[in-house]
Amino acid sequence: MTSDATPALDPAVAERLKRDDNGLVAAIIQQHDTREVLMLGWMDDEALRRTLTEGRVTFWSRSRGEYWRKGDTSGHVQHVKGVALDCDGDALLVQVDQVGAACHTGSRTCFDGRDLPVVTDESVTDECVTTDGDKAALEGDARG
Amino acid sequence: MTSDATPALDPAVAERLKRDDNGLVAAIIQQHDTREVLMLGWMDDEALRRTLTEGRVTFWSRSRGEYWRKGDTSGHVQHVKGVALDCDGDALLVQVDQVGAACHTGSRTCFDGRDLPVVTDESVTDECVTTDGDKAALEGDARG
């Protein structure tokens, strides 16, 4: 960090980000040990800087237009374990230790109980089974 | 499905989507059994309709401006196992069985080997350990 008054995101990281029109990248939040995908949030450069340096996850709230450090009001803190940026710079994978529920509705993840009706491989095998080894995989359950 | 010539996304699903200014929602792709997060892509209503009904994952390519069914050129097919929509309708979690590499660079996931420098809980425990049970969790390794 330089002696500048305002801390900034590491330029080596900032130059790798491919931000959307609102200056944001998507942040996938995953429980580090069970690998549950807990939620998806949004970060600008400053939210990412705080996340990388404070040990806690900070998002940019698109609806409220403000920074939001997960758990400050709910107690459902996300302790940062690791952060990776994807190959094209528009998505982050944040490994956390989640305290309590990740979802504001009280469910553990924001996806729990929200399955959409889907046609899985089992019903379209004649189209999809084209690679060695896939048949065995298709014997598994429909939802891992 | 009705007898309309052009198939459309189930209206019960469509009305739950909170699309961005470009009509897109984020789609997190996860290997269904190991729970690896493989990549993040983007879907409009039609890409989601195809994904829910064809047994294969289709994205909307923001850079190329076209639909893109994963694996059609690379062979690295994503067989759909399940799809869930998050609590506020702007993110999908797609469980797949991934054939080969998910990333166009040849790595298994788009996040492999792309860790950012991060200060984890271990170095800021006096600020972050505020909840019973967290201390035990903090004894784990830095990256799950």
Q: Is A31 on the interface with B (CB under 8 A)?
A: yes
> Three-state SS for A138?
helix
Determine the average pLDDT of the residues in A100-116: 96
3-state SS class at B73: coil
pLDDT for the residue numbered B120: 79
A 34-63 → B contacts, CB under 8 A:
34-37, 39-40, 51-56
**Is B36 in contact with A35 (Cβ distance < 8 A)?**
yes
- H or E stretch including B84? strand B78-85
Complex-level ipTM: 0.82
B54-65 burial by CB neighbour count: b if 16+ within 10 A, else e? bbbbbbbeeeee
Residues B40, B29 contacting (CB under 8 angstroms): yes
Give B81's contacts in chain A (Cβ within 8 Å).
120-121, 140, 142-144
Stretch A120-126: mean pLDDT, rounded? 59
Q: Kindly report which listed range (A128-142, B37-51, B74-88, B110-124) carries the lowest average pLDDT score.
A: A128-142
The token pair at B38 is 């493989």
pLDDT over 70, % of chain A: 80
pLDDT given at position A55: 97
Q: Phi and psi of A10, rounded to 5°?
A: -45, 120
Q: Is A130 helix (H, G, I), strand (E, B) or coil?
A: coil
CB-CB neighbors (< 8 A) of A54 in chain B: 119, 124, 127
More confident residue, A8 or B3: A8
pLDDT at B42: 97
Point out the least confidently predicted range of A57-61, A139-143, B97-101, B130-134. A139-143
Residue A4: pLDDT band by 50, 70, 90 thresholds?
A: low
Q: Which is more confident, B126 or B4? A: B4
Who wins on pLDDT, A137 or B75? B75
Q: Report residue B144's pLDDT band, with 50, 70 and 90 as the boundaries.
A: very low
Picking from B103, B120, B140, the nearest residue to A80 by CB comes out as B120
pLDDT at B128: 43
Q: How many residues does chain A have?
A: 144
Query: Using CA atoms, how far apart are residues A76 and A27, in angstroms rounded to an integer?
Result: 17
Structure tokens belonging to residue A100 = 């309590």
- Give me the pLDDT at residue A131, please: 42
User: So what's the pLDDT on residue B6?
Assistant: 77
pLDDT score, position B141: 31
Give the global pTM.
0.83
Chain segment B62-116, per-residue pLDDT in tens: 989 999 999 999 999 999 999 999 999 999 999 999 999 999 999 999 999 999 9
